[in-house]
Amino acid sequence: MGAQVAIVMGSQSDWPTMECAAKVLDDLGVAYEARIVSAHRTPDRMYEFGKGAAGEGFKVVIAGAGGAAHLPGMLSALTHLPVLGVPVQSRALSGMDSLLSIVQMPAGVPTGTLAIGEAGATNAGLLAAAILALGDPALSQRLQDWRAARTASVGEVPQG
Ligand code: RP5
């Protein structure tokens, strides 16, 4: 089976953030493909990707962008697949611009919007896995094990 999750981002500079989504998908054994698809610099590539994503076999799209972050919203307009948007932290406005660009979609064109930066990318990976796990009992079990291990790692008493 090909990759079920596409991780797309507006720039190479977004990868250190979006890599957090890739890492959690690696941990959960979910195949993904990562691509650079810019709404502003490569609009034709964005259009082709958005129109073709379902046909390529993807089930969920994770899209990260910073600043005037149109990529997640535009992809939501181009595909019926669920799109999870990650606001990448920008230099000028610390990612508030990215967040507001992604979260304020008009009714009818939903874009799931996560937290700014690495936490958002990690959670986008986990949400993508949770969506896929609805139809994949083995993945559901791996996700539950991942969560249980995280819970077990929290001590009751602070150390040091
Ligand atoms: C956005 O502009 C990208 O998603 C990135 O977060 C931001 C800066 O891009 P670079 O100038 O680093 O390529 O389109």
Complex-level ipTM: 0.97
Backbone angles phi, psi at 9, to 5 degrees: -150, 155
Domain chopping of the chain, boundaries: 5-152
Q: Label residue 1 by pLDDT band (50, 70, 90).
A: confident
Residue-wise pLDDT tens digits, 14-64: 999 999 999 999 999 999 999 999 999 999 999 999 999 999 999 999 999
Closest CA to 87 of 105, 60, 109: 105
Spell out which residues line ligand 1, taking CB within 6 angstroms. Answer: 10-11, 13-14, 38, 40, 65-67, 88
Residue type for 149, please? Answer: A
Which CATH code of 3.40.980.10, 3.40.50.1970, 3.40.1530.20, 3.50.50.60 fits the domain covering 5-152? Answer: 3.40.50.1970
Q: Which atom of ligand 1 is nearest to 39's Cα?
A: 14
DSSP codes, 5-39: EEEEES-GGGHHHHHHHHHHHHHTT--EEEEE--T
Choice from 13, 74, 75, 93 to test ligand 1 binding pocket (greatest atom count within 8 A of CB): 13
pTM: 0.97
User: Tens digit of pLDDT for each residue in 107-148?
Assistant: 999 999 999 999 999 999 999 999 999 999 999 999 999 999
Write down the residue that tokens 């994770």 correspond to: 62
Pull the structure tokens for residue 21: 């989504």
Consult the annotation and say whether 97 binds a ligand. Answer: no
